[in-house]
A and B are shown apart, each in its own frame.
Chain A
Amino acid sequence: MATGSKWVNNGQAFAVDQLDKNTASGTPTYFGAWGSGSTTPTVGDTALGSENAESRTSIVAGSMSQPATDTVQWIYAITATGSRTVQETGIFSASSAGTMYIRIVHGSLSLESGDIVTYTVTLQLKDTSE
């Protein structure tokens, strides 16, 4: 099973913007998506392997937090609108297309309409001087 997580291209600037709003231009927006792709995440990924039909979930301000100085966290839930195989999730800059910041591949889920998956994604930066 090719599980794993990657902070993908542009993710560093994205993460730094979360921890120091002075570096951000404008107000960033975040959307959570899921899909059925199972390929191992790589830094060069720009999209999910196979995004499912459900609309991306807008991650509102209250569902984003900074639990530690070097850590950012996003929480979002997606509800299946039909029978779905779900094996990946990602955080994007827009409700369609946009920039993908993080991609995570997890164990395969066989979902039916009405099933809900709530994701909590934590990104912890590591100081290279440590």
Chain B
Amino acid sequence: MTSAAVPRAGGFTSPAPELVAGRDTRRHPAVIVGGGPVGLVMSLCLARHGIASLLIDAEDTVCAGSRAIGIARRSLELLDALGVVGSFMQKGLTRLGSRAYARSKELGFRPLVHPETDRFPPMINLQQSYVERFLVEALDAEPLSTLRWSTILTGLAHDASGARLTVASPHGSYRIDAEWVIACDGASSATRQLLDLRMEGSAYSDRFLIIDVRMPSTWPSERRIWFNPESNPRSTVIMHKQADDEWRVDFRLPPDIDIDAALRPEAVAERVARHLAFIGEDAPWQVTWVSTYQARALTLPSYRYGRVLFAGDAAHLVPIFGARGMNSGFEDVHNLGWKLARVIRGEAADALLDSYSPERRSATLANIGYASMGTEFVAPQSWGAEVMREAVITLAPTHPVLESLMDPRTSDPSAYPDSPLNVRTADEATCAGGVPVGATMSDAPVRVVEDGFASDAWLGAICRRTTSVLVFTVNGRVDPDLALALAQVRSPLVEVHVVALGLPDASASGRVLHDHTGAVAALYGAQPGTVYVLRPDQFVLARWRTADRDEVVRAVESLGRPRAPREVSA
């Protein structure tokens, strides 16, 4: 065994900012603090909505090591909406499922199912260092995004008119004025400390040793978990395959262990060697990164403090089991991006941003609930929990109904059933099945028919960035009254998509989305006359079995109106 540090991409430098009297000459619409995955995606989100941002980061490089390796389907959809998912899919490995063992006995395999109606697999594995690298590359090509590396936030004040940041950098200390600040600066958020904000929640006492090991192996990309393996008695060991023949191995450490001693290279190597020998891996290997982890379930009481908004680990810390950390951070900034863009452009009132905190905090509480259950199973917090886990492990091979208790409770899309933005109508109660208000839209294949030409596409790739109105019809012909109302709300902020449940009528005007597989009708519980209004972040804002045109217009306009005169087409 050898130990080798993986060279980090980076040593990034930034052009000198234009300064006058120790002050950045520009007033920035948005300053993002923190260049981890969440901050980088925030910058991309704003750029895709046409908003320029300045991102500052204390480091001059991407992170080292695997860190947050699980990218969930919802995050892949978001990255696709930003136009960057290709490199992630190319480099990442599709996670096929989860295989569990008790000591050396296999308990079973639970596949991660990839239905045909989904564009992306449920989960891919990719080292966070690659995640950050791909995002930095995308931002380097984005004229609306400015990245300033080696720039440390040292002061922050804000009021109703905006925010004033003080930073230390290779170009000296200077002041930056901003309309909005988005704190994406992670678990040790400097922004949080400067505003003297405290997180609420609890921490687990267990410590985990996290090791990246480079080793050729033909074992497929499965999550493997060993409870109490002979290689590390009284421990839990989890292994994931990543790109470049790199394996992520997590060891639960005994409570009385000397952490410093466990981190010594020879102790790390000995622990890894024991486990690899135990599972029959005999190829040469080397440790490429080592870290420790302690699970915490913490959240800020609010994610908005005047002109400062918090996202990702700066706002909440979720135990890693279930891959809900980075994925929930991506959902945070996807929620925030369009709202901030509309407020900055004056298309929506500042109050639109008030919905960010309740929506995302409710998602955090759900994530903490699931991730805490996952943590409790990986590292039981009491003798009673240990006994119950032992009962599950013993019974699962003969009682498949219990296998799900061994699942990592993997990240799933958030839902905002209680969002203040949701538009509830009397007609909604008549919608049978389908996607409820406050839930994420369901993706499905559609055939785009326009001017006699047809091409295959995905509904989720069509309804993004703007408010989307889905109008379900028999053949693409919309009721004239509704068509007139929709023509009036159509704008750069609103797209109307006509869905034909049957074959589109050749005389139907404009573009029609043909539900050629029937998947859309099934997923949306749609019949001719059904209307859905989707937010730019793809959540269902309102729906009707039989649309009331005035209600549809009100729902669409509740998310903002364009400032420029609207283009009205018949």
A binds B: no
Residue positions of A touching B, CB distance < 8 A = none
Residue positions of B touching A, CB distance < 8 A = none
